[in-house]
Amino acid sequence: RSLDNGYPSSMTTCKDALKKLQETLEEGQKVEELEDVRLCMVPWQMPLITKMDASLNTLKKCKHLRLSSNQIDRIGSLAGLESLEILSMSRNLLKKLENLDAVAGTLKQLWISYNNLIALNGIEKLQHLEVLYMSNNKVHDIKEIERLQTLPKLHELLFKGNAFHQRFLAEGNDEKAYRLEILMRLPNLKVLDGLHVDDDERAEAQARS
């Protein structure tokens, strides 16, 4: 069953989304040449993307791939995205991190807030990662934060709204204590949940660890 525009009524493929994006570009521009690729279906009034496919592998010059606000439940192959520095997949249905090997050498920022992630296994492959936005997921174990200790360049983390954060506050702790719990484990952070980490806060966290 299809809509009048020929797209499936239940979903839009990445291939069709890229075709639609091409139609919006100025004459002479090619999707394959873009450094910033946004595949958000809402402005185009098209069904949401539910699956990443091999058509994305043509985006060899893409530095920022925007797939937020779709219904993607797993990270598909990123082979071919040899220039990728920022992967935006907030507001999807992701349950785990996978298929990141192909971009491990270039990826600097991962935006995955508002998904269904419980664990962060696989994140340790991203040795060049500097920024991780992962608020409002379902991470409940502080040990998952400790996985981030293997990322030498990580300096900004957005983590509030996860199950651990909610439970920690429900147990009678305050936001200051929560921040110290994170900073005890990640002393090199410069920004946590949108707020800069000052020297006093860092010193207090180190004194507790």
Residues 146-162: pLDDT tens digits? Answer: 999 999 999 999 999 99
* Structure confidence at residue 2 (pLDDT): 41
Report pTM: 0.92
Quick one: DSSP state of residue 64? E
pLDDT digits (tens, 9 = 90+) for 53-97: 999 999 999 999 999 999 999 999 899 999 999 999 999 999 999
CA neighbor of 119 nearest in space, from 97, 88, 98: 97
Rounded Cα–Cα distance for residues 57 and 148 (Å): 28
What is the residue whose two structure tokens read 């800069």?
196
Rounded Cα–Cα distance for residues 94 and 33 (Å): 28
- Mean pLDDT across the chain: 93
Kindly report the backbone phi and psi dihedral angles of residue 192, in degrees, each rounded to the nearest multiple of 5, phi listed first: -125, 120
C-alpha torsion 69→70→76→77, nearest 10: -70
